[in-house]
A and B are shown apart, each in its own frame.
Chain A
Amino acid sequence: MDGDDAKLLAAYRAGNTEALGELVEKYKRPLFSFILRFSEGREDADEVFQEVWVRAIKHMSRYREKNLLSWLFRIAHNLMIDRGRKSRSLVSFDTPAYTDGVAVGETLAAPQIGPDSETDGLEIGRKIERAAALLPLEQREVFWLRMSADLSFKEIAKIQRCSINTALARMQYAVAKLRKELAGEYRELLEAGQ
């Protein structure tokens, strides 16, 4: 674990609640963004976000990983699987529902971050968000964990309980689809972004 994170956790255990506040502050952006991309809106995402932290602190004795953020993502992933199983309206990560032979995740767009917020008003970011929302769930998850949360493929593989090669393949498919989806605008986007 990051030395600072360990200190903050120890301080929280000793009764300093501000230490936990600091930890939440440190990781809130990547974690909340990820949850929001896979939930039914901000309220729902906020609920999951809180639950992730409560579970993480309650089960801190089981924590064995080097990266706290990666562990938080793992809890979030498992929590969303549980919610997906309980609620038919949400799509599970591990067992995709099928309608007419097509996985729901293949066609269901995630309620992604709203157009007037979050991506610092960048049109480029919004276009990528929209295109990524059309990706199948597992590919979408790898894409966001890699691109937005900056997790390694080793960490992503652990979260998705798959091999590194599978995580890499999912990312390859995601990138290929995004390139295809954004083909017309890609050059323009690149130029604007540079």
Chain B
Amino acid sequence: MTTKRTERLLLLEQSGEMTARQKRRLQRALETSPEIRQLRTELNFLNRTMLDAGAEPPEWSTDKIINRLRTEKDRHRLCMPVWKPVLAIAAGLAVAASIWNFTAGKPMPALTSNSGAETEMDLLWDDPFGAELAELENLLLTISVDLVSFTEL
């Protein structure tokens, strides 16, 4: 086994992430190689030394964190009761306005017509093709009456 691979096994051993198979491999390497044993001692030393080392935040840090969280919570609580009802009222108004607009903008046929009679809309309707249709009818009639003179034309 290469030293690099054994080094990885040593690192995994230290972090407690080794499988049973890896443990056996490392054990064999430790038994045969003084270099690996030396590296293991060094790594354990580094770990011990550095675990003890470290800095602490200022004493007031915890209070500051608690205060910041409290402020944000209060702000959140303050905003909640205001925007929710406002949003609900605005949505309600928008729905009401659109319904009113829909019903007021177009007269409903049922309201303006009598049963069986022509509706006001029907009376007002002007057929744009009426004149052309009448002209075409006349032409067809002429052809059917005097086909010979028409073909000569």
B5-17 Cβ-contact flags toward A at 8 Å (1 or 0): 0011001101111
Q: Which of A32, A58, A122 contacts B72 (CB 8 A)?
A: A58
Q: Is B56's CB under 8 angstroms from A28's CB?
A: yes
- Please, which residues of chain A bring their CB within 8 A of the CB of B46? 128, 147, 175, 178
Interface of A is mostly: helix
Q: Which residue of B lies closest to A193 (CB)?
A: B45
- Please, which residues of chain A bring their CB within 8 A of the CB of B43? 175
Tell me if A2 is interfacial: C-beta within 8 Å of chain B: no
Tell me if A100 is interfacial: C-beta within 8 Å of chain B: no
> Which B residues between 1 and 28 are near A, CB-CB below 8 angstroms?
4, 7-8, 11-12, 14-17
A125-B55 CB under 8 A given contacts A24-B65, A153-B17, A168-B11: no
Number of interface residues of B (CB under 8 A): 35
Tell me if B52 is interfacial: C-beta within 8 Å of chain A: yes
Tell me if B61 is interfacial: C-beta within 8 Å of chain A: yes
> Which B residues between 25 and 43 are near A, CB-CB below 8 angstroms?
41-43
Q: Is A190's CB under 8 angstroms from B42's CB?
A: yes
Q: Is B45's CB under 8 angstroms from A194's CB?
A: yes
User: Min CB distance, B25 to chain A, in Å?
Assistant: 15
Q: Which residue of B lies closest to A175 (CB)?
A: B43
Q: Is B53's CB under 8 angstroms from A17's CB?
A: no
User: Min CB distance, A116 to chain B, in Å?
Assistant: 12
Q: Is B42's CB under 8 angstroms from A193's CB?
A: no
User: Min CB distance, A146 to chain B, in Å?
Assistant: 7
Give the one of B45, B57, B70 with max A CB within 10 A. B57
Q: Is B42's CB under 8 angstroms from A153's CB?
A: no
Give me the interface of A with B, judged by CB distance under 8 Å.
17, 20-21, 24-25, 28-30, 32-33, 36, 42, 45-46, 49-50, 53-54, 57-58, 113, 117-120, 122, 124-125, 128-129, 144, 146-148, 150-154, 168, 171-172, 175, 178-179, 186, 189-190, 193-194
Q: Which 9 A-B pairs have the closest CB atoms?
A: A33-B54, A147-B50, A118-B55, A119-B53, A32-B57, A125-B53, A53-B65, A24-B62, A148-B50
